[in-house]
Chain A
Amino acid sequence: MRRLPPVRTALLTALALLVAPFAHAIAPTRMPTPALQARYERLIHGFRCMQCQDESLANSPVSLAADMRRQIRQMLLAGKSDRQIRHFFVSRYGYFILFKPPFVLKTAWLWLAPGVLLITGAVSAGWVIRRRAALAATDDNDEDVPGEDDVASPGKHN
């Protein structure tokens, strides 16, 4: 919603919030066959609205999203494949327009980072837990550690 004055942004935000619960009702587009209808629905859910970037074309009330839905409809009716339609938008707006970008060199970090972070977290958690367990085991074996008595001693004065 950039390039709009704050008042307008606020109004549009309020409008978007009002519209949000009815979002499923935005695209009552009828395609001639159920198969085309299914492809249309799948496609519009897969593209990002470039203006309200966290919404799909299916859920966005913005007029650019309506134009893009119209473009998709026209391409489907002209017999284009899903692949051709996706390529049409990606070559004009970049991978950013896809909610599920393909796994290519440029997007590799995007796909791999969560796994790498998860493994790093799991490994370090495992390491910490093992160390704790090892420490606890040593504590149980050495009951005569002087420090233990010192810790317990304040209680004895009560």
Chain B
Amino acid sequence: MKSRYLIPLGVFAVIALLLALGIRQAPRKDLVPSPLIGKAAPVFSLPSLANPRTLVTSAQLRGHWYLFNVWGTWCISCRMEEPELLAIARTGVVPLIGLDWKDTRSDAITYLHREGDPYQKIAFDPGGLEAIQWGVYGAPETFLVNPEGIIVYKYIGPITPGAWRRDFLPRLPGGHAVAGS
């Protein structure tokens, strides 16, 4: 007879468990997983930041691993990320290709001159339509692209030294050796 009072308690326990699992599974609601992972990176041909008459194209990048980093001088988190990008550039493990997103040329050039330039090439996207091709919804966002032009991994937010060791290096050829040193 008393056992029927246990039913609501049981239901409550099940719901509580489901909610607890849900919270654990989605620790950050603001991180939306990208459907582009495992797919070909967008084909693009954009003016270079430094020189509007030269182009940065996806064709030039074929055959090499690269990091595609979406940033802008207006983006505070990108400024926080800058020292780590410079450190990554110094390792020489993988070239950084920048997408200067919704920025002005003069702001970006002044900023890189002052803070240091970690990028091998920078494509300029003042209108923001290229970022949409990559499914970008904030900055910084960083894509790891393999020599076949496939997006292997996407990192949302400023790259930290820990994220570089944990999330990027193991995915790169020979990255384990560098991660260990």
Interface residues of A (CB under 8 A from B): 2-5, 8, 50-51, 53, 63-64, 67-68, 70-71, 74, 90-94, 96
User: A3-B157, A4-B76, A51-B137 are contacts. A94–B129 as well, Cβ < 8 Å?
Assistant: no
In the assembled complex, the Cα of A90 lies from the Cα of B39 at a distance in Å of 13
Question: Which of A5, A63, A94 is the one whose CB lies under 8 Å from B32?
Answer: A94
Q: B157 — which chain A residues lie within 8 A by C-beta?
A: 2-3
Whether B161 is near chain A, meaning CB under 8 Å from some CB there, is no
In the assembled complex, the Cα of A133 lies from the Cα of B113 at a distance in Å of 81
Q: A70 — which chain B residues lie within 8 A by C-beta?
A: 127, 129
Indicate if the CB atoms of B128 and A63 lie closer than 8 Å. yes
Contacting A at CB under 8 A, from B123-141, are 127-129, 131-135, 137-139
In the assembled complex, the Cα of A58 lies from the Cα of B128 at a distance in Å of 18
B14 to chain A, nearest CB (A): 11
In the assembled complex, the Cα of A23 lies from the Cα of B4 at a distance in Å of 51
Question: What are 28 A-B contacts defined by CB distance under 8 Å?
Answer: A2-B138, A2-B157, A3-B75, A3-B76, A3-B138, A3-B158, A4-B76, A5-B76, A50-B138, A51-B137, A51-B138, A53-B29, A64-B131, A64-B137, A67-B102, A67-B127, A70-B129, A71-B129, A74-B129, A91-B35, A91-B39, A92-B35, A93-B32, A93-B35, A93-B135, A93-B137, A94-B33, A94-B35
A76 to chain B, nearest CB (A): 14
Q: Assign chain B's interface to a size class.
A: 20 to 34
A39 to chain B, nearest CB (A): 19
Whether B54 is near chain A, meaning CB under 8 Å from some CB there, is no
Indicate if the CB atoms of B32 and A50 lie closer than 8 Å. yes
Closest to B140 in A: A3
Indicate if the CB atoms of A67 and B139 lie closer than 8 Å. no
Whether B77 is near chain A, meaning CB under 8 Å from some CB there, is yes
In the assembled complex, the Cα of A87 lies from the Cα of B129 at a distance in Å of 16
Whether B88 is near chain A, meaning CB under 8 Å from some CB there, is no
Indicate if the CB atoms of B138 and A67 lie closer than 8 Å. no
User: A3-B75, A4-B76 are contacts. A64–B30 as well, Cβ < 8 Å?
Assistant: no
In the assembled complex, the Cα of A39 lies from the Cα of B131 at a distance in Å of 24
In the assembled complex, the Cα of A64 lies from the Cα of B137 at a distance in Å of 7
Whether B172 is near chain A, meaning CB under 8 Å from some CB there, is no
Q: A4 — which chain B residues lie within 8 A by C-beta?
A: 76
In the assembled complex, the Cα of A50 lies from the Cα of B76 at a distance in Å of 19
Q: B158 — which chain A residues lie within 8 A by C-beta?
A: 3
Indicate if the CB atoms of A71 and B132 lie closer than 8 Å. yes
A104 to chain B, nearest CB (A): 13
